[in-house]
Amino acid sequence: MVTQSDRVSPPINVKDSFLLDVKKLRLLREVSLQGSITAAARSLHVTVSSVSQQIARLEHEHGIALLEASGRSVRLTPAAHMLVTHTETVLAALEEAEAELEQNRKAPRGVVHLVAFHTFAAGILGRAVQHLERIAPSMTLRFTQLDPAAAITELNARRADVVVTDEYPGYPLPPTRGIVRTELGTDAIRAYLPQAGVQPHAVAWAMEPPMSDATRWARGLCRGAGFEPRVLFESPDPYVHAQLVGQGVAAAFLPVMVARQIGLTKPECPLFDTDMSRTFVALVRRGTERSPAVEACRRALEMAYSAKHQV
């Protein structure tokens, strides 16, 4: 005979409650970051239909629209924006928990993804890898070269663990919530002329693309010296600028590190100070700075930067 106390309540069907799926929330967050389903699919290396189907399932499970048509594209609804905000909090908490868990290991291990720009990669990356192999032999460093703006996007999207970027005087990096910065040090810059005795206002100049901080800083220096630079050569690569200077084609503001690497012997422009510099900055997401692997990578970067100045 079954008594009342022996009765068991029917089990709760978890499927009926449709708990939020972090994987689907990541897809929605990526659409928010990239601005479209197509761009989100491209950045995640999946098909457009896969992203659309997963978000449609998320809408069906909770009975609320998350995307709405906007011309030929889509935009997030207020409910979707709310979910993305909470997703950021959830992902940050998971990363912080993982970092604390890693602290129980005897030595850092795993893969750290570093993203940085070309000059850093050519001048310092190799030393950073060597130092990391010495201080954390169980770790692997994966590197991707991107311009600073794209690198910071990758960091915010959680596809990069550490970013190295540069900062020019008067053009500080915009403050970003949840990002921790460490200044690695300065990198000297000089203005070089294509030939001795030429006037800087009378020669062609090589600079980075117009909207870059490097070019806005350089143009400001030229205007402060009393002339508007005649920029005929645009490239994001300072090694291209250096080659143009070396071949007597253009003047340019060059990192001294780059000039030394190609053996540049062209004269410096006397209109500008010799103490010009930019700052190298390492960026990580808040919470991950306590990860032994991320900290080891950052230490290796600092050691590589110091070694650069001892050469």
10-residue averages of pLDDT along the chain (311 residues): 41 51 82 82 84 85 84 82 80 72 70 93 92 92 91 88 95 84 93 95 96 95 96 96 97 95 93 93 88 91 80 46
The residue whose two tokens read 């002339």 is: 227
Q: What confidence score (pLDDT) does residue 311 get?
A: 46
Both structure tokens of 284:
């990580």
* Residue 156 main-chain phi, psi, to 5 deg: -65, -30
Domain borders along the chain are: 16-99, 106-185+279-308, 188-277
The model carries a pTM of 0.74
Look up the CATH number of domain 188-277: 3.40.190.290
Per CATH, 16-99 and 188-277 having the same topology is answered no
How far, in Å, CA of 63 to CA of 55, rounded? 12
Asked if 171 contacts 252 with a C-beta cutoff of 8 angstroms, the reply is no
Q: Which CATH number fits domain 16-99: 1.10.10.10, 3.40.50.2300, 3.40.50.720, 2.60.40.10?
A: 1.10.10.10
Q: What confidence score (pLDDT) does residue 223 get?
A: 97
DSSP string, 84-153: HHHHHHHHHHHHHHHHHHHTTSSS--EEEEEEE-HHHHHHTHHHHHHHHHHH-TTEEEEEEE--HHHHHH
Kindly report the number of other CB atoms within 10 A of residue 307's CB atom: 14
Selection from 80, 98, 91, 75 nearest residue 22 by Cα: 91
**E strand or H helix that includes residue 24:** helix 22-34
Both structure tokens of 44:
């995640």
Both structure tokens of 186:
């300065």
How far, in Å, CA of 187 to CA of 305, rounded? 10
Q: What confidence score (pLDDT) does residue 8 get?
A: 43
Please report how the helices 292-308 and 78-102 are oriented relative to each other, as an axis angle in degrees rounded to 10: 80
Q: Which CATH number fits domain 106-185+279-308: 3.40.50.1980, 3.40.190.10, 3.90.76.10, 2.130.10.30?
A: 3.40.190.10
